[in-house]
Structure 1
Amino acid sequence: MGIETNAKDGILTIRIRDQRMVDEALLEQLERDVTAMLDKSTEERVILDFESVQFMSSSMLGKLVKIHKQCQGFKVKLKLSGVSPEIREVFKITRLDKLFDLEKDEAAARKAFLKRGIFG
């Protein structure tokens, strides 16, 4: 699984490099990796970047909800960036767009975090 991370300005960016997030083993690995990063990181803000993701299964939605809850447990603010229009529509249909803060791209997510300071 391709994940890249970068920490800058108190923001941890996790970029998912896989185009298709459908394999259960891949999804489990993503959850483990993100949990480990949250456990080690001192950043209070996380961007999960989906720019490369073109398709994801309903299981991925469940993993994202778990990751969101983990972020809350760590008192970390989470934003999703680079979500394609098709996947954004799935978020809308499932009403997960109410749970997740979806930003156009990583730059917009970073700007939104920096604009709001450490509390946003």
Structure 2
Amino acid sequence: MAIASQTRDGILIIQVKDPRLVDEVVLEQLEKDVLGLIDQSEEERVIIDFQPVQFMSSSMLGKLVKIHKKCKEYKTKLKLSSMSPEIREVFKITKLDKLFDFEKDMESARKAFLKRGLFG
């Protein structure tokens, strides 16, 4: 399995385990697994953690856009964490950095979700 998941503090945390996201069969399965978790979850906050990922194909960017749309459909907030600087650069070049919310690491993403504003 290319991912692992857990729910903590009302947040669905999905950890990507594969360091190279290039094989189309693996990407299809990863998309299917992530969308399945989001479909089944009642959590309104999702973190997808890319800690071990060193390379990501452009096809994976498309899969992330589909996952983002599914989260919007469910009114679920999505954060991407632990992206390498090289992969983040691809998001900037493609202007997808405007679509996604990035955090330095999973713990930062979790803390950002747990912060309460002035009015709750």
Q: TM-score band, normalised by the shorter chain?
A: over 0.9
Find runs of 4+ consecutive structure 1 residues off by over 6 angstroms.
none
Residue matched to 1:93? 93
TM-score (norm: length of structure 2): 0.94
**1:31-50 C-alpha deviation (Å, 9 max, x unpaired):** 11111111111110000000
Identity of aligned residues (%): 69
* Mapped partners of 2:112, 2:93: distance in 1: 24
Give the drift of 1:2. Answer: 2.3
Alignment of 1:77-116 (within 5 A): 77-116=77-116
- Matched to 1:28, the amino acid is E
- C-alpha distance in structure 1 between counterparts of 2:30 and 2:72, whole Å: 18
Give me the whole-angstrom Cα distance separating, in 1, the residues matched to 2:112 and 2:84: 19
Could you say what secondary structure the match of 2:25 adopts? helix
The two structures have a TM-score, normalised by structure 1, of: 0.94
2:4/2:16 contact within 8 Å kept: yes
Segments of 5+ residues of structure 2 without an aligned counterpart are none
CA distance in 1, matches of 2:89, 2:98: 12
Identify the residue that residue 26 of structure 1 maps to in structure 2: 26
Structure with higher helix content: 1
Instruction: Spell out, residue by residue over 1:77-119, the C-alpha distance to the aligned partner (whole angstroms, 9 max, x if none).
Output: 00000000000111111111100001000011001111147xx
Correspondence 1:35-74 to 2 at 5 A: 35-74=35-74
Cα separation, 2, equivalents of 1:71 and 1:24: 22
Instruction: Measure, in 1, the Cα distance between the counterparts of 2:116 and 2:96.
Output: 22
Matched with 1:75 is 75
